[in-house]
């Protein structure tokens, strides 16, 4: 910590115009650095585990979470507990399954919760309509597909990718299943809320 400055006495020389410009430039640089630090504080706050005492997550808040996902028998499916950054999402959008989002609502920073989700709250029921047989034309005409393997397929109408499991391949067609591999499963999640950024 630096010593406090000694106040100037009338006998001390007054800074010249050039020196004043240097001082002003320095002050502007310091102010800009403070603004940058404060601007970045939101992201740091969200990822650092810091929070306002008593604050809880609600609709439209951005939250950061660590989680472990299990089958009902206790087998771990997925986890980001040892990841360097948490999963960040906005409560109320469709990027995370609804049951998981509802579980986070009302949680406070550093709170840990274990929830059991029925398949309807998780990835839903199996939809036979998502099994499709398509002609091998366009971009997939010369692509090699292996039955039983999973691929990312681009959907132009929605400008998005979807994972599909190849069921059957012929010279002219491909049959794939676009159902999520976890449809129909009841799941358990252990969730730790790492940060909240209020809407």
pLDDT tens digits, one per residue of 24-59: 444 444 444 444 444 444 443 444 455 566 789 999
State the Cα–Cα distance between residues 100 and 92, nearest whole angstrom.
11
Q: Would you say the CATH fold of 128-177 matches that of 62-123+184-197? A: no
What is the second-level CATH architecture of the domain 62-123+184-197?
A: Roll (3.10)
Distances (CA, A) of 110 to 1, 86, 98, 131: 32, 12, 21, 42
Helix (H) or strand (E) holding 196: strand 187-197
The answer to whether 96 touches 109, Cβ cutoff 8 Å, is no
Domain ranges within the chain, ordered by starting residue: 62-123+184-197, 128-177
Q: Are 45 and 78 in contact (CB under 8 A)?
A: no
Q: Is the pLDDT of residue 159 over 90?
A: no
128-177: CATH topology is Thrombin, subunit H (2.40.10)
According to the model, what pLDDT value does residue 42 have?
Answer: 45
**CA-to-CA dists, residue 23 to 3, 16, 17, 18, 172, angstroms:** 19, 10, 10, 9, 75
List the 150-155 sheet strands across, edge first: 131-135, 173-177, 160-169, 150-155
Q: What's the pTM? A: 0.67
């Amino acid at each position: 910590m630096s010593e406090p400055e000694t106040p100037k006495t009338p006998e001390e020389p007054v800074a010249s115009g050039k020196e004043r410009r240097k001082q002003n430039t320095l002050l502007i640089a310091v102010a800009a650095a403070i603004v940058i630090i404060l601007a970045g504080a939101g992201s740091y706050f969200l990822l650092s585990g810091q929070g306002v005492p008593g604050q809880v997550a609600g609709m439209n808040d951005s939250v950061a979470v660590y989680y472990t996902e299990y089958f009902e028998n206790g087998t771990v499916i997925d986890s980001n507990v040892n990841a360097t950054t948490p999963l960040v999402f906005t409560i109320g959008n469709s990027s995370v399954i609804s049951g998981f989002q509802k579980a986070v609502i009302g949680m406070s920073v550093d709170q840990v919760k274990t929830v059991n989700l029925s398949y309807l709250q998780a990835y839903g029921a199996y939809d036979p309509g998502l099994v499709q047989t398509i002609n091998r034309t366009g971009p997939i005409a010369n692509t090699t597909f292996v039955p039983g393997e999973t691929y990312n397929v681009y959907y132009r109408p929605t400008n998005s990718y979807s994972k599909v499991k190849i069921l059957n391949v012929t010279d002219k067609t491909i049959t794939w299943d676009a159902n999520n591999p976890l449809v129909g499963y009841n799941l358990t999640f252990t969730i730790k809320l790492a940060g909240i950024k209020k809407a």
